[in-house]
A and B are shown apart, each in its own frame.
Chain A
Amino acid sequence: MIRYLRLFGVQVRASLQTVMQYRADFFVQGAMSLYWLGWNLLPLFILYEDRTAVAGWDFPSALVVIAWFVILRGILEGAINPSLVDVVDKIRTGSFDYLLLKPADSQFLVSTARFDPWRIVDVLGGVALLVYAFVQLGRWPTVADVAAGSLLLASGVIVMYALWIGIVAASFWVIRLDNLTYLLDAVFDTARWPAQIFKGAWRIIFTFILPLALMTTYPAMAILGRIELTTAIACVAASLGLAIGARLLWIGAVRNYTSASS
């Protein structure tokens, strides 16, 4: 365990050293984050200029969902996506073989290979938006609500990570699947809306087939103090289930791995 923590430290340091060479990127990233924040808010403003509430979500509560979405997107782009883009590339070029030879767990090495620390700007922007939403609501969440919201956000991150690991495992069989991550990105964009706004087939898809509701809607409901205990427990259980599933898929995929170079 301690060995893995040390290894984690080494990998993070390596990423930091790489990005420190491009310090100006911090400002580029900051500008881009602000830009996308405004972009994300525009449809919301247009919608709520006309309506006071849609499917039980008023403007500040919908802002909470977007805030969670921005934070989650920051984590995704900062900690999950760079590594996985990297590994898909390694699989295609065949240098993944060397990674498998290293005396540490391959999933761990793959998941920590690269970080993009500038994405912290996104996370901070999301937190600012969250604070603003609660100012608009005129009340503050209780400590218990914040704890529940954070716990569900963590399980949202796990769900996302599990999906991404599943994609990488799939790319063992179908070599050129790097654009599948773009597809997931595009689908993930939907998570900025409260799942209840969608009706019928859409909501079923976004809740059960692609668990987007798990990622943003339920964590937002938790910090707003609106979630039922059974739903919260179901969310955590589902995320753990997905994580175990992804782990099994990874082990199976590595066993079936036939190098691209041979």
Chain B
Amino acid sequence: MSLRATLRAVPTLLRIGVAETVAYRAEFLVWMLTTTLPLVMLGLWTSVASEQPFHGYSSPDFVAYYLATLIVRNLTGSWVVWQINEEVRHGQMSMRLLRPVHPFIQYGVSHVAAVPLRGLVALPIAAIMLFTTARESMSHDAAQVLLFIPSIVAAWLLTFAFLFALGSFAFFLDKAMSLMEVYFGVFAILSGYLIPLSLLPSWLRTLADWLPFRFMLSVPVEILTSRSLGAGRAAELVAAQWIWAAGVLALALTLWRAGVKRFEAVGQ
């Protein structure tokens, strides 16, 4: 499995990924609509803040925060645990392992291929966000906003590697999906998906600082919306994101290797 062979396979894998996304477009759309949580929280907190600002957050601040959350979540969302779990249970994993490209690349490329279609949903939201009341609640620092690009890429890689590591547990446990449920609960709180991190009780906020979840979602959202962050601090946060991503990636590949060693093909 040389690097050149892998690189040669990438365009084909991308084409397959796009074809898959287009073939199951109705399903795909429904999956995207399931990310309604930010919209519900948006409805809730804007009406709470319309009575009076909530801990310094006005209604437009909440609109900006949750729309940015929706965009980041749409671009970085990953279903790789579900894929690995299904393939292990139905015995299709052996086929995937036979291919001469590392499964991390195979799954990763199929996720990347879905990004343009996901962008189709996320971009109109961004436009609405920029041209309605939320404009004032966005960051006006151009350097800071530019940092959003490396930040979202790092967030994608970190999320994907983390979930790939979780998916590797499908080789050890038959309940990898409940692991996913636990993950989502922790992620939703400590990444700022449910509530802005600054509104959490202080002990939870400290916990969030020391765990990777914040770097999956809250950091790119803060970079887009925070007016007090500044480009310097933003650059530090992006660097921390990349360090986390590299660490988790190494862990994921190790776990995967250990899992494959144990793998006994079930099914046909």
Contacts and interface: CB of A to CB of B under 8 A. Distances in A.
Interface of A: 28, 32, 35-36, 39, 42-43, 46-47, 50-51, 54-55, 174, 176-177, 179-180, 182-183, 185-187, 189-190, 193, 197-199, 202
Given A28-B175, A180-B30, A47 B48 contact: yes
Contacts of A36: 185
Contacts of A198: 43-44, 47
A43 B195 contact: yes
Contact of A39 (B27, B189, B201): B189
Contacts of B199: 46
A46 B201 contact: yes
B178 interface: yes
25 contacts: A28-B175, A28-B178, A35-B185, A36-B185, A39-B188, A42-B189, A46-B199, A46-B200, A177-B26, A179-B31, A179-B34, A182-B30, A182-B31, A182-B34, A183-B30, A183-B33, A185-B34, A186-B35, A186-B37, A190-B40, A197-B47, A197-B48, A198-B43, A198-B44, A198-B47
A57 to B, nearest CB: 11
Contacts of A190: 36, 40
B44 A197 contact: yes
B194 interface: yes
A52 to B, nearest CB: 12
B149 to A, nearest CB: 29
A189 B185 CA distance: 13
Given A43-B194, A189-B36, A190-B40, 18 more contacts: A28-B178, A35-B182, A36-B185, A47-B48, A50-B54, A174-B26, A177-B26, A179-B27, A179-B30, A182-B30, A186-B36, A186-B37, A189-B40, A193-B40, A198-B44, A198-B47, A199-B50, A202-B43
B43 A39 contact: no
Given A46-B195, A50-B54, A176-B27, A32 B181 contact: yes
B29 to A, nearest CB: 10
A136 to B, nearest CB: 20
* Contact-residue size bin, chain B (C-beta under 8 Å from the other chain): 20 to 34
Contacts of B99: none
A55 B36 CA distance: 23
B82 to A, nearest CB: 10
A198 to B, nearest CB: 5
Interface string B12-51: 0000000000001011001101111100110110111011
Contacts of B189: 39, 42
Interface of B: 24, 26-27, 30-31, 33-37, 40-41, 43-44, 46-48, 50-51, 54-55, 175, 178, 181-182, 185, 188-189, 194-195, 199-201
For the complex of A and B, list the 6 residue pairs with the smallest distance between their C-beta atoms, beginning with the closest.
A202-B43, A199-B47, A186-B34, A190-B40, A179-B30, A198-B43
A35 B186 CA distance: 10
A202 B47 CA distance: 10
A180 B181 CA distance: 18
Main secondary structure of the interface of A (DSSP, over half): helix
Residue of B36, B40, B175, B189 with most partner-chain A CB within 10 A:
B40
B174 to A, nearest CB: 10
A47 B54 CA distance: 9
Given A46-B200, A183-B30, A186-B37, A193 B44 contact: yes
B78 to A, nearest CB: 15
Contacts of B34: 179, 182-183, 185-186
A233 to B, nearest CB: 28
Contacts of B185: 35-36, 39
A192 B55 CA distance: 23
Contacts of A39: 185, 188-189
Nearest to B204: A42
A199 B50 CA distance: 10
B31 to A, nearest CB: 6
A190 B36 CA distance: 9
A183 B31 CA distance: 7
A32 B178 contact: yes
A141 B24 CA distance: 51
B84 to A, nearest CB: 18
Contact of B55 (A28, A50, A177, A185): A50
B230 to A, nearest CB: 27
Contacts of A35: 182, 185
Nearest to A43: B195
Nearest to B184: A39
A190 B41 CA distance: 9
A42 B44 CA distance: 14
Contacts of B24: 176
Contacts of A177: 26-27, 30
Nearest to B26: A174
